[in-house]
Chain A
Amino acid sequence: MAKQLMKGCEAIAEAAIQAGCRFFFGYPITPQNDIPEYMSARMPKVGGCFLQAESEVAAINMVYGAAGAGARVMTSSSSPGISLKQEGISYIAGAELPCVIVNMMRGGPGLGSIQASQGDYFQSTKGGGHGDYHLVVYAPASVQEAIDLMQTAFDVADKYRMPVLILADGIIGQMMEPVEIKQGNASEPVKKDWATVGWSEKDFTRPRAVVNSLYIEVEELEELTGRLQARYAKIAEEETRVELYNTEDAEFMLCAYGTVARICKTAIAQLKKQGIKAGLVRPITLWPFPYKAVHDAIAAPSVKKALCVEMSAGQMVEDVRLAINGEKEIELLGHSGSRVPTAEEIAQRIIQMRGA
């Protein structure tokens, strides 16, 4: 199929449909509105269900129900709306159900602004809701990557029976890029014998399926969290993704994710013209965080200093510092308040670090 010119939000919605998602429950908020808008037009045409819930809380609980019944289901929102969904996300994690959640981040805290931001890193990777759980968190840096990660997100959600989050800044949602969406490329649906689909006349023998996140007995809850932690360890081993860019012989290592990583690449090109070798380590999964790859990139003997660039007051930088564990100093260039860092500004900072 010919390439299409798509906004990130539209592309994510279409990619979800191509991945076999047939249920979308959401509530409007800028800058992710193009996702429900697109879904409202497309879902009825593919025999799916689009429903605008009465609130974010309702939407995530509809996702909970559909996921429990074994459906490929998703919801999307932007920062304040994702905050509202946290209780439901924790319940879905506790009930071990697969679903995909998209957060097109905007400025915060509070209602913040409708401009792009990366201020929800903590919320996404360190819990968000209550209890001992994680989400797999993917951070696309282009519209095409967002498309490709949607299929992965649904597959990983099903494989590990857990919610998966696509964490993109509002720029990814709003920018238009030429992209290709493969049609009819959906993976085979996995068998969900745990789904609450009822007994059929043919099979009264299957075990009763129960969707539950309440464990009164201490031992039972510990068994659940133990099972989850074992799963998380396996995911950290098998699903961690990272991109290394110009890291060979780099004197300065940048660390960034999402749109900011692309800005860093422009900065790297500018620095190259001035004879300064800079590289980039870009986490694609924010959880599991690529601790080893980030460590190895920054700990390399050629690297003098490292700079973490974020559209936040400094959130991912904590994981970068954990990764390097004091071996080297990590500086931060962080903008909150929805300001987008420029390539010139990043290059200038590296030049300053070089002089210092």
Chain B
Amino acid sequence: MKRYYVLIGNFGSGKTEISINLAMKAAKTESAVLVDLDIVNPYFRSAERRKELDKAGISLLHPVFAMSSVDIPALPPDIYSVFVDSHTTVIFDVGGDPAGATALGQYKANFSKIPKEALQVLFVINPRRPLSSTPELVLDMLHRIKFRSRLEITGLINNSNLAAESSVEELLDGYKMLKAVSLETNIPVAFTTGLKQPLEGFLKIALETGLDSRYIGTPMEIEIFMHRDWDRFTEFGI
């Protein structure tokens, strides 16, 4: 069955990194296409990793002027092809916040024809990002993004992290947050994502302390593809 994943969430919550990871995993056995639908951020987008995606055999579609330093939110018509082509995994990496989710609205008719079980609309949450630190703030953002996307959110992703300083602590806080959001919305937790070490540490503690697996979902180890230039050239902090 052809599967669709749509990644939405706050600006900077980790949608692009998770999208590429999902695509890389899918591409091992499936024919995958990644749609970079980000119309709000001219800087960090999956299109930057075209080389790695090409190598993995992942098709990539992106806004017309992506990577040109030109800030024009124009989407190419060939995005419609992913709803009818022969790819078996389709991943939409959507721009952040309600503004970014607006780009999804025009595909409502196409999404509505997809069988329910084949479409996952995943809301990515990193409580360590600004304006995401309480369940109230996350719920407010979730409702506004859902409204703009014209889609039903089917799952939550716990992507609680502090980039290079990530630890188990972040995922534990994320667990509490997602449990609260899940209980409030009845949306299940689909994934808990993290770098190898924090994720393994979190799962160990979860097992020991009896955390509810319903609010953990499927653990997904993240490999960092979106290395920023400054990870290298500013390795010395101030």
Contact = CB atoms under 8 A, between A and B. Distances in A.
Interface of A: 2-7, 10, 14, 30-31, 34, 38, 41-42, 113-115, 140-142, 144-145, 171, 174-178, 243, 259, 261-263, 265-266, 269, 340, 342-343
Contacts of A243: 238
B212 interface: no
A6 B238 contact: no
A5 B129 contact: yes
Contacts, number: 87
A168 B194 CA distance: 31
A16 to B, nearest CB: 13
A144 B43 CA distance: 21
B148 interface: no
B238 A178 contact: no
A31 B43 contact: yes
A347 to B, nearest CB: 12
A5 B126 contact: yes
Nearest to A268: B236
Contact of B163 (A113, A177, A342): A177
A340 B233 contact: yes
B222 to A, nearest CB: 14
A262 B233 contact: yes
Interface in B106-163: 126, 128-131, 133, 161-163
B236 A14 contact: no
14 contacts: A2-B169, A3-B162, A3-B165, A4-B133, A5-B128, A5-B162, A7-B12, A30-B71, A142-B237, A174-B43, A176-B12, A259-B234, A262-B237, A262-B238
Nearest to A13: B130
Given A4-B133, A38-B130, A177-B163, A263 B234 contact: yes
A4 B132 CA distance: 10
A261 B234 CA distance: 9
A142 B238 CA distance: 6
User: Which one of A5, A174, A340 has the highest number of Cβ atoms from chain B below 10 Å of its Cβ?
Assistant: A5
B228 interface: yes
Contact of A145 (B69, B173, B238): B238
Interface residues of B, number: 30
Interface in B189-238: 228-230, 232-238
B42 interface: yes
Given A4-B133, A114-B42, A178 B236 contact: no
Given A259-B230, A259-B234, A343-B232, 18 more contacts: A2-B173, A5-B126, A5-B161, A7-B12, A14-B130, A38-B131, A42-B131, A114-B71, A141-B238, A142-B234, A145-B238, A175-B234, A177-B163, A262-B230, A262-B233, A266-B232, A266-B234, A342-B233
B183 interface: no
B1 interface: no
A178 B43 contact: no
B12 A266 contact: no
Contacts of B131: 38, 41-42
Nearest to B130: A10
Contacts of B162: 3-5, 178
B84 interface: no
B134 to A, nearest CB: 12
B102 to A, nearest CB: 14
B163 A266 contact: no
Given A114-B42, A178-B162, A4 B69 contact: no
B165 A144 contact: no
Nearest to B164: A178
List 4 tightest A-B contacts by C-beta distance, closest first.
A265-B236, A262-B234, A142-B238, A178-B162
A38 B12 CA distance: 13
Contacts of A115: 69
Contact of A175 (B71, B133, B230, B232): B230
A7 B237 CA distance: 15
Contacts of B169: 2
Contacts of A144: 237-238
Contacts of B229: 340
B230 A269 contact: no
A14 B129 CA distance: 12
A17 to B, nearest CB: 11
Contacts of A7: 12
Contacts of B12: 5, 7, 176
B236 to A, nearest CB: 4
Given A114-B69, A177-B163, A178-B162, A3 B234 contact: no
A244 to B, nearest CB: 13
